[in-house]
Structure 1
Amino acid sequence: MGTPGTPPEWAARLREKRKAKVGTVADMARRLKEAAGEQRGRLPSIDDLTRTIRGWERGDHYPSERYRLLYARALRTTEAELFDLAERPSVPVPALPLPSVAPDADLFERIARSVQQPSRVDQRTVDWLAICLAEHRKVEDTIGARPLLGIVRSQLGVVVELAQHARGSLADTVVDLAAQYAQFVAWMSLDVDDQAAALAWYDRAHDWALEIGDVNMATTTLSMKAHQAWSAGNARRCVRLADAARRHDGQVTPGVRGMAAQMAARGHALAGDARPARTLLDEAEALIRQAAEHADDEPVWMYFYDETWFRLQRGMTELQLGNWSKAIDLLTDGLSGLPESYKRDRAWYGSCLAKAHAEAGDAAAAVQVSLPIMADAVALNRHARKELIDVAALITNRRSPQGGLLEEALAAADRRNG
């Protein structure tokens, strides 16, 4: 706070920003009204709001949550930039500061009310939580699981509490959202090598899916548990879980069925069974093409599943089967279509491509592929880092000087990552 006779820093900041970006106090009142959008009628008159703004700028009283959010929107900045951090209210649902999930003043109050009184949860709050989940999924593609896991787990806790109190038709909607959150938390838990948490959350997501009759989520969770088995090198469990996913009835969308088929293929490839692996890949490819023709019918969590992704999966499977040249072609083609923002996935498939080049005896190409993805592999994808360690060892064992270069680059990346 300021000294006697001096407004606090946040109040002086409001006055400074208003004069620099807006103009008069009356102009600021009109700007706040505009920022309120459809809720502008619930704000005081321009004259009353003008008097209130003058009081804020003197530091007579501190703006409520509603007005802090309106100020941030009107001045095109963030609440944290305008107001003292210590004096800000706690956020009702933890989330990254993404513009796409910033609620307006009315929605903020709805969310806060739902958190405080879960029995009063409404559709707008649930819709916002669904958007929040979708946006955090996209961010995870870029920054990886570790920075997000705690935040999303807290969001899941809120959704679970709401699911226990929701009534009527909204109840199934909230349980559906809880299943999606659990599936995402399981995926991130696996990414940070918390195997027990991953399995527990996949099981919980599967249970919630069965509770509301969501066969797509039930099938997806079985496929993802198959992926967990594949990651652990358990080919038999991978195949059995993927086959269980494939046995769901015709209500399952083609994309979700395609995921199950390719997971079964990867399990057979892990066991060295080339014929069933490639047969299942052909089946998965046909299903993915069907899914592409009706993309809007696929569940929202299948946003990443397309022909580019499948080419990469097929390339990874051919790598497992020892078909180096085919793996190189598929992985190179797939990476050319994978968005640059998918840093975690680019690190993984890039490491697979490096492995294919190394196995094919082209150490220079392996290093050339490895170096640009090294930092992201170390920071975002433990599987990619391990694959690059294996590539370096393979090249070194073949007495190529390129192996030492790769080992030094890995060590440097590890040091930078702490």
Structure 2
Amino acid sequence: MSSRGLWADVRLRAAWARQDWAAILREYRRAADLSQRDLEPLVGMPQPHISAIESGRRQVTSAEVMARITEGLSVPPELSAVAHRPDLDKWGPPTELRERIAHGHSTGRTDLRTADWIGEVLAQHRRAEDEIGGRDLWTVVRSQLDAVTLLIPGTTGPASDRLMLLAAEHAHWLSWVSAQQGRIGAALAWIDVAHGWAVDGGHADMASWVHRIRSYYSMRHGDPVRALRTAEAARLAMGLSPAAASVAAHQAAVAAAALGERERARRLADEALELALRVPEETDRPGWLYWLNPARAMLQAADSAYVCRDWQAAADGIRAALPGLVGYPRDHAYYLARMEDATRRV
């Protein structure tokens, strides 16, 4: 695997974001399947020095050593900027990002290969978030977003639209992680940025999805009226793919049930399930809905039954679909708790 490919590894990127030099060396060796001896010619240090850094007996404080490791391990540009941008730790979106798109000037030929690479890496961050959380990857994704927005002013037409979608996906991820950290103000600010970029780029699915996320935030904060209103806006948007329409319908069902509109909630839940089952293959869904496979669709239907207090249907549905939920420990725990509670209430 090339050095560039190695840096798609989320554990390695998280170690870089923390500037944990011991972990950087260890995770690079793990990803590349190298010994400490193999690392010697890359970083210009003998094996005993590498061992001392990895074990914590020696700290990396020299700028020269940091530069040697950075160059030797071929750290990609969107990551090498992280070490020099402490402001990336700030949670909310800076005005500069919006201005860069609205008022920027072309700085040269747009590198869409870089954009494609960053998009692939973001997809891996989405999948890793459930396992390791998003906090360690925060500065990495912020730096990636900078790399994307620097490309946008120099583009027009479909290439610009494509970059707008990638920027919106990053802003959505940042919103989600902000919310998980209890920073709801930053979460709402990032989701607004994501929606603006999605609309400007003509991406109906992403614009609908961020409305759905806003609805979810409203539900979490005890406002089902606003949640239903926003979910319906997501569901009724024009030109949606079946997958995007499905998740919006499910969110509307949850909000309707919270307001006591159970028949409406059941109809919406049936709609969500039918739409999701139209696109069982991951390649037929937007990248951020990679998880909406048939098992997930059935779990969402069972979750709708739960909020409608159809306890038997909820328990049976979750029990049947739960074995298909592999690799998502937090979601597995959530649905297991739902099933156990529904079972007690039957």
- Give the TM-score of the pair, scaled to structure 1: 0.58
Q: Is 2:254–2:265's contact at 8 Å kept on the other side of the alignment? A: yes
1:320 is displaced (CA, Å) by 2.1
User: Contact between 2:277 and 2:297, CA under 8 Å: does it hold in 1?
Assistant: no
The residue number in structure 2 matching 1:216 is: 205
1:278 corresponding residue in structure 2: 266
1:222-237 alignment to 2 at 5 Å? 222-237=211-226
Give 1:78 shift.
Answer: 8.2
Matching of residues 138-149 of structure 1 within 5 Å: 138-149=127-138
Question: Where do 5+ consecutive residues of structure 2 fail to align?
Answer: 4-24, 46-59, 81-105
Cα displacement (A) at 1:321: 2.4
Partner SS for 1:290 = coil
1:326 aligns with 2:283: no
Question: Is contact 2:250–2:304 with CA below 8 Å preserved after alignment?
Answer: no
Letter in 1 for 2:34: T
Aligned to 1:345: 331
Q: Are the equivalent residues in 2 in contact too, given 1:253–1:297 (CA < 8 A)?
A: no
Structure 1 residues 119 and 299, CA gap change in structure 2 (3 angstroms):
same
Give the 3 Å change call, closer, same or farther, for CA 168–324 of structure 1 in structure 2.
closer
Alignment of 1:4-403 (within 5 A): 76-77=33-34, 81-82=39-40, 83=43, 87-89=65-67, 90=70, 91=75, 92-94=77-79, 119-166=108-155, 169-249=158-238, 251-292=239-280, 295-339=282-326, 341-360=327-346
- What SS does the aligned partner of 2:237 have? coil
For the aligned residue pairs, the C-alpha RMSD in angstroms reads 3.2
SS in 1 for 2:278: helix
d(CA) in 2 for partners of 1:132 and 1:119?
24
C-alpha distance 157-353 of structure 1, shift in aligned 2 (>3 A) = farther
Q: Which amino acid aligns with 2:338?
A: C
- On the 8 A contact 1:143/1:344 being kept in 2, the answer is no
| Alignment partners' CA distance in 1, 2:119 and 2:35 | 23
SS class of match (1:93): helix
What does the per-residue CA deviation read over 1:182-209, in whole Å, with 9 as the maximum and x for residues that have no partner?
1111122222222112211111111111
The answer to whether the 8 Å contact 1:149/1:189 transfers is no
Equivalents in 1 of 2:250, 2:179: separation in Å?
19
- Displacement after TM superposition at 1:140 (Å): 1.0
Within 2, Cα distance between the matches of 1:231 and 1:77? 46
Give the letter for the 2:321 counterpart: G
Contact 1:243–1:264 at 8 Å: present in 2 too? yes
- Cα separation, 2, equivalents of 1:315 and 1:324: 9
Distance 1:334 1:171 in 2: 40
> How far apart are 1:166 and its partner, in Å?
4.2
Q: Which has the larger radius of gyration?
A: 1
Out of 199-208 and 313-322, give the one that drifted further. Answer: 313-322
The one-letter code matched in structure 1 to 2:209 is T
SS where residue 196 of structure 2 aligns? Answer: helix
Q: What is the percentage of aligned positions where both structures have the same residue?
A: 32
Q: Secondary structure at the match of 1:332?
A: helix
**Equivalents in 2 of 1:279, 1:35: separation in Å?**
50
Which residue does 2:101 correspond to in 1?
Answer: none
Judged with a 3 Å threshold, the aligned counterparts in structure 2 of structure 1 residues 192 and 354 are, in CA distance, closer, same or farther, namely: farther
In structure 2, the residue corresponding to 1:315 is in which secondary structure? Answer: helix
Equivalent residue letter for 2:232: D
How far apart are 1:358 and its partner, in Å? Answer: 4.6
How many residues align structurally?
271
Which amino acid in the other structure matches residue 268 of structure 1?
A
Deviation at 1:284, TM superposition (A): 1.1
Give the Cα–Cα distance (whole angstroms) in 2 for the partners of residues 150 and 288 of structure 1: 33
Show CA shifts across 1:195-225 (max 9, x none): 1122111111111111111111111111111
- Distance (Å, rounded) in 1 between the aligned partners of 2:209 and 2:194: 10
2:57 — aligned with what?
none
For 1:193 and 1:316, the matched residues in 2 are separated by 24
- Cα distance 1:35–1:289, how it changes in 2: closer, same or farther (>3 A)? closer
Relative distance call for 1:285 and 1:174 in structure 2 (3 A) is: same
What secondary structure sits across from 2:163 in the alignment? helix
